[in-house]
Amino acid sequence: MTAREIYLIGFSGTGKSTVAQLVAAQLGWLAYDLDRIIVERAGVDIPAIFAREGEAGFRDRETEALRGIAGGGPFVAATGGGLPLREENRRLMGRVGWLIALEGRPETLLARIELHRNQEAPDAVRPLLDAESPLEHLRALKERRQPVYALADWTVHTDRLSPAQVAEEIVRAAAILQRSDQLRRSSAASSSSADE
């Protein structure tokens, strides 16, 4: 497969971090988790960054982390749910790679977020879960972000799939996207030759 970067986008709970590792292992590529990069650079966790710098400061850190890896592929990167909201981030990712959205129903995502918190980090601050009605809060936020997620090159619905099955779908999608890119380049080259 050509050295093209894969950016996993989508809402919290879709499994981006886990799936990025699985896809990278199948392709023999590197895997990045932008949230982890941000935390390592900041030396504090994400809730502390939000408390200290607000959402705008965190979003700036996301963009900086993205710029640090973009163009250095091949790799698979798990992005934060809000990273593709900035047009400059979408343009950068689109120039050097494919955006693959992981999708899920709000009920599925909330159940996964709760399970992760209970298993991995019971004391973690999860703003989504601290709302009066977590499901309604998640649903509203996801609805606002959906038009951006819909701009992805490919979408995988994760509700009924295991992380391994999602990874297989992404590997298959990347092969199809690569063939599509090759056909487009070949067609453009033929057109250019015909015009000369």
Tens digit of pLDDT for each residue in 70-115?
999 899 999 999 999 999 999 999 999 999 999 999 999 999 988 8
Q: Which domains are delineated in the chain?
A: 5-189 (3.40.50.300)
Amino acid at position 29, single letter: W
pLDDT at position 43: 93
Contact in structure between 142 and 13 (CB atoms under 8 Å) = no
pLDDT tens for 51-76 read 899 889 999 999 999 999 999 989 99
pLDDT band, residue 174 (cuts 50/70/90): very high
| pTM of the predicted structure, to 2 decimals | 0.89
Q: Extract the tokens encoding 53.
A: 């710098």
How many residues does this entry show for the chain? 196
pLDDT tens for 131-155 read 788 899 999 999 999 999 999 999 9
Radius of gyration of the chain (CA): 18
3-state secondary structure of 97: strand
Question: Residue 2, by phi and psi: left (phi above 0), alpha (psi -120 to 50) or beta?
Answer: beta
pLDDT at position 26: 96
pLDDT at position 5: 95
